[in-house]
Amino acid sequence: MTKFVGYRCSLCNTEYLPGQVTYTCPKEGGNLDVVLDYESLRRKYQPDDILGRKEESLWRYLPLLPVPDPGGEGTPLRAAGWTPVFSLPRLAAELGLGHLWLKDESRNPTASFKDRASAVIVARAREIGAEVVVTASTGNAGAALAGMSAAVGQKAVIFAPKTAPPAKVAQLLVYGAKVILVNGSYDDAFDLTVEAAAEFGWYCRNTGYNPFTAEGKKTAAFEIWEWYKTSLLEAGVSTNHPPLTIFVSVGDGNIISGIHKGFKDLLALGWLEKMPRIIGVQAEGSAAIANAFHAGTEKIIPISAKTIADSISVDLPRDGVRAVRASRETGGTYIQVSDDEILKAIAALGPLGVFAEPAGATAYAGLVKAVAQGAVKSDDPVLVLNTGSGLKDVRAAMQAVSAAPVIEPTLEAVRKIL
Ligand SMILES: *Cc1c(COP(=O)(O)O)cnc(C)c1O
Ligand SMILES: [Zn+2]
């Protein structure tokens, strides 16, 4: 695996060889960026070598990933990624935008964006011969690790807060993972997982801790690049267009960092003309990263998180610094939305056939606010990510709509309510 040459600390820039470290920088705990051998990749591949690959999953981008082929053909592991992009002309018109699309990550095998990270983690676990993989999770990361592991018979242990939505806990259990519910917050589960991994020799997937999660998440950037390259002209976007603006909901900050990393990889290969503008969206009650962004610093001050969007409810974001940079270095910004705006976004996407969980609809809520604030112009092409399925949290979904009437089984009763 010569293309994977090591890691670079995002805080102190120290470089490490692949065998020297496993998780974060030993000096100050900084997140590690995976470094690839861009020179040899550039010599070996042209964009067409990637665009011409047949596999319709994130494994299409295997040449740009730091893991070997994990096998598992014909299983859900090979079905992660390659999610559809929908055009939203009705909402675009409402918002006064020329071009608006939504990439629907709820179509992943376990119904959230987290499958991208977990698929690559499972590949890494197989490469290093890890017997057990463990993660802390608000639900989706765990479901993804449980599902991707189940696909290839890998053992998985999941720590989640006992308050995780029942559908997510059910998913973990049904996939056959060892599920441990913690009487505490996600942050408590996170710290416990790190300790347990060290104690029992497990391979730890924790978001914003294991450098390979961002490598899985970057495949969304590759798909956006490929989709934009091939569908741009069809959609009538001129080649002189402003760069694509991408809206991403942010909790720990690993999705937004991973997407940024994907575009940086493409830039390093000389395959990307314009860096997209990346806008992070946080819930008002869980906005530690947005706070740092707007304070003009990279210092992340923990908060006491409270939001209906459980997947982005985080006291201390574990990938905050890179998440701030993802927006700062691409001309983006951070937007904060209320729980009420998140519920409205769920209700706005539903009638288009997109069922989003609160954290998934948060990105669209951010777009609505960004338009109102003038952060997005009418000719900006915009892509919103829906990161998770509404089936994950039915209780929240019911708060976004009015209840259905219950009637006597008579036509008269039907007439009355019509
Ligand atoms: C995890 C998650 C996010 C946020 O990702 P981070 O890497 O924590 O910022 C957003 N939406 C959904 C549905 C998620 O599961
Ligand atoms: Zn460091």
240: pLDDT strictly greater than 90: no
pLDDT at 393: 92
Measure the CA angle with vertex 362, ends 357 and 262; round to 5°: 100
CA of 318 to the centre of ligand 2 (A): 14
Token pair, residue 56, equals 């319709």
Assess whether the C-beta atom of 24 lies below 6 angstroms from ligand 1. no
Q: Is the CB of 360 under 6 A from ligand 1?
A: yes
Least confident of 1-5, 231-235, 411-415: 231-235
Ligand found nearest the CA of 260: 1
Q: Is the CB of 312 under 6 A from ligand 1?
A: yes
Q: Which ligand is nearest to the CA of 309?
A: 1
Instruction: Indicate whether residue 385 lines ligand 1 (CB < 6 A).
Output: no
As a 3-state breakdown, the chain gives helix, strand, coil percent values, each rounded to 5, of: 45, 15, 40
pLDDT tops 50 at residue 326: yes
CATH class entry, domain 76-109+214-399: alpha beta
Cβ atoms of 261 and 218 closer than 8 Å: yes
Distance from C-alpha of 209 to C-alpha of 401, rounded to nearest angstrom: 37
pLDDT of residue 238: 65
Over 60: is that where the pLDDT of 366 sits? yes
Question: What number is the average pLDDT over the span 339-360?
Answer: 98
**Ligand that comes closest to the CA of residue 23:** 2
d(CA 277, CA 206): 27
Tell which one of 31, 104, 115, 140 to mutate to probe ligand 1, the residue whose CB is within 8 A of the most ligand atoms.
Answer: 140
Exposure string for 276-314, b = 16+ CB within 10 A, e = fewer: bbbbbbbbebbbbbbbbbeeeebebeeeebebbbbbbbb
* Average pLDDT of the residues of the chain: 95
Mean per-residue pLDDT for 251-274?
Answer: 97
Closest by CA to 341, choosing from 294, 297, 283, 270, is 283
CA nearest ligand 1 atom 1, residue:
311
- Whether 112 lines ligand 1, by a CB cut-off of 6 Å, is yes
**The pLDDT value given to residue 353:** 96
**Of 327, 123, 128, the residue nearest 215 (C-alpha):** 123
Mean pLDDT of 138-143: 93
DSSP structure string for 139-190: SHHHHHHHHHHHHHT-EEEEEEETTS-HHHHHHHHHTT-EEEEESS-HHHHH
- Sheet of 178-182, strands arranged across: 178-182, 155-161, 132-136, 203-204
- Does residue 253 line the site of ligand 1, with CB under 6 A? yes
CA of 285 to the centre of ligand 2 (A): 30
Provide mean pLDDT across the span 134-152: 96
Residue 229 has pLDDT above 90, yes or no: no
What three-state secondary structure class fits 136? strand
CA of 16 from ligand 2 middle (Å) equals: 10
Q: Label residue 230 by pLDDT band (50, 70, 90).
A: confident
Judge whether residue 279 has pLDDT over 70.
yes
Please say whether the beta carbons of 169 and 160 come within 8 A.
yes
Ligand nearest to the CA of 118: 1
Q: What is the CA radius of gyration of the chain?
A: 21
Residues 69-94 pLDDT 10s: 999 999 999 999 999 999 999 999 99
> What's the pLDDT score for residue 234?
67
255 CA from centroid of ligand 1 (Å): 6
Coil, strand, or helix at residue 62? helix
Q: Kindly state if the Cβ of 311 falls inside 6 Å of ligand 1.
A: yes
CA separation (Å) from 99 to 21, 260, 334? Answer: 44, 22, 21
Mutation test residue for ligand 1: of 190, 387, 391, 392, the one with most atoms within 8 Å of CB:
387
With a 6 A CB cut-off, is 254 part of the ligand 1 pocket? Answer: yes
Given pLDDT bands bounded at 50, 70 and 90, which one contains residue 138?
Answer: confident
Phi–psi pair at 159, nearest 5 degrees: -105, 125
359 ligand 1 Cβ < 6 A: yes
For residue 164, which amino acid is it?
A
Asked if residues 73 and 96 have their Cβ atoms less than 8 Å apart, the reply is no
Task: Judge whether residue 131 has pLDDT over 70.
Answer: yes
Question: 206 CB less than 6 Å from ligand 1?
Answer: no
Q: Is 265 close to ligand 1, i.e. is its CB under 6 Å away?
A: no
Give the largest Cα separation in the chain, rounded.
75
The domain segmentation of the chain, as residue ranges, is 1-44, 76-109+214-399
Take residue 340 and report the two structure tokens written for it: 């009420």
Residue 173 · residue 194 · CB < 8 Å: no
Q: What is the pLDDT of residues 173-194, one digit of tens each?
A: 999 999 999 999 999 999 999 9
* pTM (predicted TM-score): 0.96
Predicted confidence at residue 232, as pLDDT, reads 72
- 148: Cα within 13 Å, side-chain hemisphere: 37
pLDDT on residue 1? 47
pLDDT above 50: residue 309 = yes
Q: How far is the CA of 70 from the centre of ligand 1 (A)?
A: 24
CA atoms of 45 and 53, how far apart (whole Å)? 12
Choice from 104, 112, 255, 327 to test ligand 1 binding pocket (greatest atom count within 8 A of CB): 255
101: helix, coil or strand? Answer: strand
Query: Is 135 close to ligand 1, i.e. is its CB under 6 Å away?
Result: no
pLDDT in the model for residue 231: 80
Surface-to-core class of residue 155, CB atoms within 10 Å of its CB (0-12 exposed, 13-18 middle, 19+ buried): middle
